[in-house]
Chain A
Amino acid sequence: MAANPMHQFQVYRLGPEIKLGNVDLSFTNASLFMLISALSICIFLYFGSKQKSIIPGRLQLIAELFYNFIAKMINDTAGSKAKPYFPFIFTLFMFVLLCNMIGMLPYSFTVTSHIIVTLVMALFIFIAVTIIGFFKHGLKYLSIFVPKGVPVVLLPLITVIEIISYLSRPVSLSVRLFANMMAGHTMLKVFGSFVISLGLLGGWLPLSFSVALTGLEILVAFLQAYVFAILTCIYLNDALNLHH
């Protein structure tokens, strides 16, 4: 095989080494692409909100579309109580979406294909949601582990299962995004190298497959950002509206 399909996930240092005590905080290619994503979002939203026209331009329309899309999603899943968290969910969705999408460009780096990145986000959401839950409901928040209408005999078992499922939330949330991103990009790379190794005669089949996969991956990039955001909304809903 011409190139290692995992090579694209390699993190390397850019510029000088930054060390804080024993901890290496160097600026890497991952950091660079996070920065590019964040800057793209800012530039996009800057031009999307610059003109205050009644009939929106293209960028303004897209920006407002995203805004309404997220606002509707939050309202549908978590209700009006979740309104103060709108900026966070919006930022989260845009950041994950842009990281996924920029990762689709050739020779770029997919930030969200790293478990540590998605895990940090998922853990932050998990801890924040738990804190919000306890803050809003006190110890009553623990009743989330005791579903209503369960026979008393089954209650210990169900409670244990509920606790496990609650604790596995950050894992499932982070692994879902990371695994999808990594798998998609690896597949693209694998089929790309098939094109090279099969040459002009046999390379057309994997090439066409690669093209189709690219389309699928763009869909997945959007879908995973959406799933990440909507799951955050659902967790938030559990914390805000206990046993609705």
Chain B
Amino acid sequence: MKLKIPFVIFILWTETNLFAAEAGMPQLDSKYWYSQSFWLILIFLVLYLSLSKFFIPKIKDNLDDREKKINENLDEAKKFSELAERKNLDYENEITNAKKEVIKIINDSKKQLDKSINQKKEQFEKELEKEIKKAEKEIFELKNNSSDSIKTIAEEISSKVIQDITGEKLNSSSIKASVTEIAKNKVGKYL
């Protein structure tokens, strides 16, 4: 840039007569200076007035409007995001509450289930015991009965055997006594 101006002046100097206005620099010809100044002032004044009264306020309005609207929208967005955050918090709280409740329900039902299982078990065990006792009793009775019947069978068999061997009939009470005596000693061993 600094070199440009001397270069141009050099060219002009060599090409033309620099300061003879007609041939050299028309800028230095004062013929139209008044005209140029007059039209410049006139046009610039009109331009200034139209810009400052009409166009600049309009652009400013546009810019202000936009800023206002953007700020409003931003505020609204902020409000909405706060609302959303609050809702989200509520939602999370509800979820944690629900989870707690679920755990409680599970625990309760587990307890109840355990309780009822225990109850049933006890009942069942009681019944079982009863059945066992009954069965034992039956067995015991059966045992006693069987020992009695064994005695009679033993007496009959003994009297028959004795009758077959000796040919005479022994009196039944003595047989009964001896069988009972033997049974006393031996029955415990087999029954």
Which residues of A are interface residues toward B (Cβ below 8 A)?
1, 4-6, 9-11, 13, 18, 23-28, 30-31, 34-35, 38, 41-42, 45-46, 48-49, 52, 54, 56, 60, 63-64, 67-68, 86-88, 90-91, 94-95, 111, 113-117, 120-121, 178-180, 182-184, 186-187, 190, 220
Q: Which residues of B contact A94 (CB under 8 A)?
A: 51
Known: A5-B11, A120-B37, A179-B5. A60 touches B56 (CB 8 A): no
Check if A54 sits within 8 Å of B33, measured CB to CB. Answer: no
Chain B 38-79 per-residue mask, 1 if CB under 8 angstroms from chain A, else 0: 111101101110111001101111110110011000000000
Check if B35 sits within 8 Å of A31, measured CB to CB. Answer: yes
With both chains docked as a complex, state the minimum distance between the C-beta of B92 and any C-beta of chain A, in angstroms.
Answer: 36
Check if A182 sits within 8 Å of B27, measured CB to CB. Answer: yes
Choice from A11, A56, A86 contacting B56 with Cβ under 8 Å: A86
Check if A91 sits within 8 Å of B44, measured CB to CB. Answer: yes
Complex: how many Å from CA A1 to CA B15?
A: 9
Complex: how many Å from CA A64 to CA B60?
A: 8
Check if B43 sits within 8 Å of A116, measured CB to CB. Answer: no
With both chains docked as a complex, state the minimum distance between the C-beta of B56 and any C-beta of chain A, in angstroms.
Answer: 5
Check if A182 sits within 8 Å of B8, measured CB to CB. Answer: yes
Check if A90 sits within 8 Å of B56, measured CB to CB. Answer: yes
| Closest A residue to B12 using CB positions | A6
Q: Which residues of B contact A68 (CB under 8 A)?
A: 63
Does B165 sit within 8 A of A, measured CB to CB?
no
Q: Which residues of B contact A23 (CB under 8 A)?
A: 34
Q: How large is the interface on B (under 10, 10 to 19, 20 to 34, 35 or more residues)?
A: 35 or more
Complex: how many Å from CA A190 to CA B34?
A: 30
Choice from A6, A31, A41, A45 contacting B26 with Cβ under 8 Å: A6
Check if A6 sits within 8 Å of B25, measured CB to CB. Answer: yes
Complex: how many Å from CA A175 to CA B29?
A: 16
Can you add 11 more A-B contacts, CB < 8 Å, to A24-B32, A38-B46? A5-B11, A5-B15, A6-B16, A27-B39, A42-B55, A64-B63, A88-B52, A91-B44, A91-B52, A179-B5, A186-B8
Check if B37 sits within 8 Å of A114, measured CB to CB. Answer: no
Complex: how many Å from CA A63 to CA B61?
A: 13
Complex: how many Å from CA A193 to CA B65?
A: 53
CB neighbors of A among B62-113 (8 A): 62-63, 65-66, 69-70
Does B7 sit within 8 A of A, measured CB to CB?
yes
Complex: how many Å from CA A26 to CA B36?
A: 9
Check if A87 sits within 8 Å of B52, measured CB to CB. Answer: yes
Check if B65 sits within 8 Å of A52, measured CB to CB. Answer: yes
Check if A25 sits within 8 Å of B55, measured CB to CB. Answer: no
With both chains docked as a complex, state the minimum distance between the C-beta of A210 and any C-beta of chain B, in angstroms.
Answer: 14
Complex: how many Å from CA A66 to CA B87?
A: 45
Most buried by A among B7, B11, B39: B39
Choice from A24, A35, A46, A115 contacting B35 with Cβ under 8 Å: A24
